[in-house]
Structure 1
């Protein structure tokens, strides 16, 4: 790993960052969370995404998290690090650090504080591509960032930069944009879905090669993906639709991160559902609504403490 000689595909959950009740990074829970992902047989793990609360992390915390995840994974699956920044220099610096820290690929959002025009966007992504020699995934997440990456810009970047070879499409309607990306980039960009997988099967149907959801239901995403790849699309859809109300409630604006953590805490994967400002903790009503979507469903996270599969 780490040399770009692999292909990303399948299920790459965005790893949450567990915090103690005092608000520090909870290293024990982080290790347990990584073991949970590996037990679910994920294809890879993504760090420092929006669902990781990466925008709240201090540099020393980011460094420690990278070390812990690398120690736990031991090269068994690829690691994708988020390395977007509010400016070009920051993104280049963070991307260089990520490669050195063990990233096998980078997931990069455009700058979002000042909204870039097309030329600034091209310069930003090109500078990052030139600064590293691992694969880069463009992250097109306008709901989170307020900035959409136009498909012609994606096509230009993919043509000019050999290591820009993936895109995570989270701009609704994702399905329509996936088709546009695949057509306009002539196969140079492979597509992952996002938005917590709410259009997972539709995205696979359109040609996506994987998904990058939150990290509390990895085994469900893995089963859906494997069924799809085996040609059992009807079974994959039936499984997806069974979990869709739960997946959907994990996208609730302002509270999504707390929802993900609440489920992980309920089964003992992490010790606390603490989130950092500006995320809001969930209240009893929302907690009840989340758990109601899981009635009659079997979620590995909720029976984690009874597991023999833990490493």
Structure 2
């Protein structure tokens, strides 16, 4: 496997697919998952990330997480790069990662450790242990501002460490770590906070960004990507203006709305997303109205019936 080539494939939109649940049982609706993946593929998505936070990874059992990764790999069938989310304890992450690589995943994304007590040296050991235990390469999800960027710098020489989903919205800090990691390590730098922050991270050294909006309005997401690649600032800022209200809505309640806004927007336009699992509630009436107005501004009502 050419790890450098795979790192370059991540320099695009990393689509975080949803995990649809039935309204009554909250079991996974596998048919709706297939619809979601096919929607992403039909709209040109090149990287799909099952078991991301938009996929409600932390609400899934380990068996559900394994099954979702395997199902996504089967559905993608080589048409896109599959980056499987793994996490929890190091042993659990390795178990999930080995299952993903056996199923044919291209790469894993190691979630930020969720333990309440984490040190920088401990985080380095955590990520390194997982990276070295797998045959396929890893990217890390870096979002705790209390951890030093030394985590990234010390891991950078590892051959199977190929990218960072950087989700700390501190642009001087991000630029500094990008400049301090030698180019010879060929890391893919990915803005981990979606369209709202993508233009800023791009100018600071990112080459791609994550997206939840791509599950609803891929034209908007890809317009931003094209604009960034071509240096077309008018297109970039038009896409930013169209997306920022939606992303602000997702960020409400300390990001508590992050997934439910995506799912309820999908349902409103005829895409089968289902409900969220606890600890996330449905949107309140005010937020639902705000989603409706945004979808109207995007001219997306009834799009689900024409796919």
TM-score (norm 2): 0.90
**Alignment partner of 2:256 out of 254, 257, 278:** 254
Matched with 1:92 is: 94
**Alignment partner of 2:160 out of 152, 160, 163:** 163
Report if the CA contact (8 A) 1:152-1:184 is conserved. Answer: no
How big is each residue's C-alpha offset from its partner over 1:153-186, in whole Å with a ceiling of 9 and x where there is no partner?
A: 2111112x1111210111122x223212211112
Matched with 2:182 is: 186
Matched with 1:37 is: 40
1:243 equivalent to 2:243? Answer yes
How big is each residue's C-alpha offset from its partner over 1:100-140, in whole Å with a ceiling of 9 and x where there is no partner?
A: 22221111123222322122112111111111122211111
**Alignment partner of 2:114 out of 112, 119, 122:** 112
Aligned mates of 2:120, 2:273 — CA distance in 1: 44
Aligned mates of 1:181, 1:136 — CA distance in 2: 18
Matched with 1:102 is: 104
Number of residue equivalences: 297
1:16 to 1:3, Cα distance in 2 relative to 1, 3 A? farther
Matched with 1:20 is: 22
Matched with 1:225 is: 225
Structure 1's unaligned 5+ residue stretches are none
Residue 208 of structure 1, CA deviation: 0.8
Report if the CA contact (8 A) 2:265-2:295 is conserved. Answer: no
Range moving further from structure 2, 191-200 or 71-80: 191-200
1:276 equivalent to 2:273? Answer no
1:64 to 1:92, Cα distance in 2 relative to 1, 3 A? closer
1:177 to 1:107, Cα distance in 2 relative to 1, 3 A? farther
How big is each residue's C-alpha offset from its partner over 1:211-242, in whole Å with a ceiling of 9 and x where there is no partner?
A: 11213333311121012212312222222222
> SS of the residue aligned with 1:103?
coil
Aligned mates of 2:177, 2:302 — CA distance in 1: 37
Q: CA RMSD in A?
A: 1.9
**Alignment partner of 2:266 out of 248, 264, 267:** 264
How big is each residue's C-alpha offset from its partner over 1:30-89, in whole Å with a ceiling of 9 and x where there is no partner?
A: 01101111122112101111111111112232233223212221101001111121x222
